[in-house]
Structure 1
Amino acid sequence: MTTETTTPTTATGAATAAPAGVLDGENPYTLSHLDALESEAVHIFREVAGEFERPVLLFSGGKDSIVMLHLALKAFWPAPVPFALLHVDTGHNFPEVIAYRDRVVARHGLRLEVASVQEYIDSGRLRERPDGTRNPLQTVPLLDAIEKGRFDAVFGGGRRDEEKARAKERVFSLRDEFGAWDPRRQRPELWQLYNGRHAPGEHVRVFPLSNWTELDVWQYIEREHIELPEIYFAHEREVFQRNGMWLTAGDWGGPKDGETVERRVVRYRTVGDMSCTGAVASDATTVEAVIAEIAESRLTERGATRADDKLSEAAMEDRKREGYF
């Protein structure tokens, strides 16, 4: 079953393009691949809204969470989005992304809850890592925020093409009372039938973009005219090299002695903590140029630019078992 949705604005307020999926000479009853993905995601949002009492959407200001919010706005238009946004702020986020997050929240009158890693460090509940990266420290604040908010469904922007552990996820991913993920408890999802049943204390992580690829995301951004933080496009920036990755200099602990800061033209394929998110050399200053660049790439965005996924062969799966996204 497919669902038609319309809205006069995108998640960032821009006017939408002409109705998608129908071009000159095309069969008007055939959905394009982007229409099919959009329809599936909208269906998932509505299923969760109907089945769960207190959903929440993880929103960092990265491209996947931006597309998720855009889809949620479409799913419930003209009514407001019926759930809050949650951001686990490491304190080492890119300033451009935080500024974008706040603009979008204000524009749409959304409710944003922030779980601060810095507050946990200051209070002694978490300890700073020697390498300075805070991505692995997000799990405890996330689980505490879920428990405090009594959220029973948590939307995440994970996609199966990103990383092998995420490829194991179902769209509805059951988490136990400790927030942990057990691959053996994954449920079948035949014919887009999703099982959200859970015991008290458990919750479900929901991934509306599971079947999307990085290229799909960017093609959808192009079609819907969605505004993104500027760091997704080529710009000159001070970076230094560590373990084969170009990292942004900052208070988080870089550069160290022997690491030289250079000004280079780069862009970011994915956005996370500054301490573990690498930039890539690029001259792509437009969405069209980014799409052409991604189409030629043979590395996933996380494989190319995320140091936290390179800690071990099973780094992502280990973190997911502990309650990570």
Structure 2
Amino acid sequence: MTTADHRLTQLQTLEAESIHVLREVAAESERPVLLFSGGKDSIVMLELARKAFAPARIPFPVMHVDTGLNFPEVLEFRDKRVAELGVELVVASVPDAIAAGTVREEPNGSRNRIQTPVLLDAVEEHGFTALFGGARRDEDKARAKERVFSFRDEFGQWDPKNQRPELWDLYNGRTHLGESIRVFPLSNWTELDIWGYIAQEEIAIPQLYLAKERDVVDRQGMLYAVNEFITPRDGEPVLHESVRYRTVGDANLTAAVRSTAGNVEEVIAEIAVTRLTERGATRGDDKVSDAAMEDRKKEGYF
């Protein structure tokens, strides 16, 4: 006589862990919010939130810190998905903050640093006490230092040397007045796990993630698609390449990678053999220094 095998797969284990975190925060926190940009990680996190509370609606709003430099396809996907789920969308606008004079444009074209005060102002304005982020530990060294529950002081700052223990999936969500929590349900996921889950659950994604013939320019070994934010410089050749995006940040600083992966299964096959992180391969704004991400997180960035 044999007994049934009730062991969970890797993706089932990750899904159960993430759903547990989402439910725990919803139960403990007064006003949580989920950061949703329309990128693959936040798409998976939003799907996990839908599953966590089905058949009821997701019991908290979603927020996007809009830099004004997003790919139009991603914004279109964001609005469509939010409408399908019937959740409230809060948009914290960097262009509006620039126009109001609360932040100042940086000469290098990156709006990563000025996202932080816009995010913190939105948190204060709406009274959010816990913010779900889609960070994964394999993205960046600074991500790997952070716990699932990341506590921020009244200024939104993170101290990597002052973190609470998280034993046996027990989370202490208590905060003092003015403090908030950043919560990362995808902390134990990898890029490959994300794509495996997208394939398994048949989750819709922006078409930018799939390979297509696109006009690009090569700048310091990185391929930037020609668009409203990237125009060829004098004497700079325009190449016609089959490329896709591994991440969809700001269109003026996010590069594509050469690829022939026209569907999710082919993307998974490519990711399985790569040894370069998506940020290292495609994010021009993270090439400032090895500690660029950690510096921003200490200031209040996700």
> TM-score, normalization: structure 2?
0.96
Aligned residue number for residue 71 of structure 2: 94
Please report how far the alpha carbon of residue 254 of structure 1 lies from its aligned counterpart in structure 2 after TM superposition. 4.1
Q: Distance in 2 between matches of 1:222 and 1:305?
A: 23
Please report how far the alpha carbon of residue 258 of structure 1 lies from its aligned counterpart in structure 2 after TM superposition. 4.1
Aligned residue number for residue 21 of structure 1: none
Task: Work out which of the residue numbers 107, 127, 136 in structure 2 matches 1:150.
Answer: 127
Aligned residue number for residue 80 of structure 1: 57
The 1:26/1:264 distance shift into structure 2, 3 A limit, reads: farther
Q: Are 2:217 and 2:223, in contact at CA under 8 Å, matched by a contact in 1?
A: yes
Cα RMSD, aligned residues only = 1.5
1:141-180, CA deviations, whole angstroms, 9 ceiling, x for partnerless residues? Answer: 1111111111000000000111000000100000111111
Deviates more, 1:58-67 or 1:125-134: 125-134
Aligned residue number for residue 150 of structure 2: 173
- Aligned ranges 1:81-160 → 2 under 5 Å: 81-160=58-137
Q: Are 1:163 and 1:302, in contact at CA under 8 Å, matched by a contact in 2?
A: yes
- Aligned ranges 1:227-266 → 2 under 5 Å: 227-252=204-229, 254-266=231-243
Please report how far the alpha carbon of residue 260 of structure 1 lies from its aligned counterpart in structure 2 after TM superposition. 2.9
Matched, 1:60 2:42: no
Please report how far the alpha carbon of residue 27 of structure 1 lies from its aligned counterpart in structure 2 after TM superposition. 4.7
Task: Work out which of the residue numbers 187, 195, 198 in structure 2 matches 1:218.
Answer: 195
Q: Are 1:55 and 1:154, in contact at CA under 8 Å, matched by a contact in 2?
A: yes
Please report how far the alpha carbon of residue 135 of structure 1 lies from its aligned counterpart in structure 2 after TM superposition. 2.3
Q: Distance in 2 between matches of 1:167 and 1:298?
A: 17
SS at 2:12's partner residue?
helix
SS at 1:276's partner residue?
coil
Please report how far the alpha carbon of residue 131 of structure 1 lies from its aligned counterpart in structure 2 after TM superposition. 2.0
Number of residue pairs matched?
A: 301
% identity of equivalent residues: 62
Deviates more, 1:124-133 or 1:36-45: 124-133
Aligned residue number for residue 324 of structure 1: 301
Aligned residue number for residue 16 of structure 2: 39
SS at 1:147's partner residue?
helix
Aligned residue number for residue 302 of structure 1: 279
Q: Are 1:175 and 1:203, in contact at CA under 8 Å, matched by a contact in 2?
A: yes
| Letter in structure 2 aligned against 1:323 | G
The 1:26/1:150 distance shift into structure 2, 3 A limit, reads: farther
SS at 1:44's partner residue?
helix
Deviates more, 1:300-309 or 1:123-132: 123-132
Please report how far the alpha carbon of residue 108 of structure 1 lies from its aligned counterpart in structure 2 after TM superposition. 1.3
Please report how far the alpha carbon of residue 253 of structure 1 lies from its aligned counterpart in structure 2 after TM superposition. 5.6
Aligned residue number for residue 7 of structure 1: none
Q: Are 1:233 and 1:285, in contact at CA under 8 Å, matched by a contact in 2?
A: yes
> TM-score, normalization: structure 1?
0.90
The 1:65/1:28 distance shift into structure 2, 3 A limit, reads: same
| Letter in structure 2 aligned against 1:260 | P
Task: Work out which of the residue numbers 159, 177, 188 in structure 2 matches 1:182.
Answer: 159
1:61-116, CA deviations, whole angstroms, 9 ceiling, x for partnerless residues? Answer: 00000000000000000110000000001111001100100110111111000011
Q: Are 2:224 and 2:230, in contact at CA under 8 Å, matched by a contact in 1?
A: no
Please report how far the alpha carbon of residue 202 of structure 1 lies from its aligned counterpart in structure 2 after TM superposition. 0.7
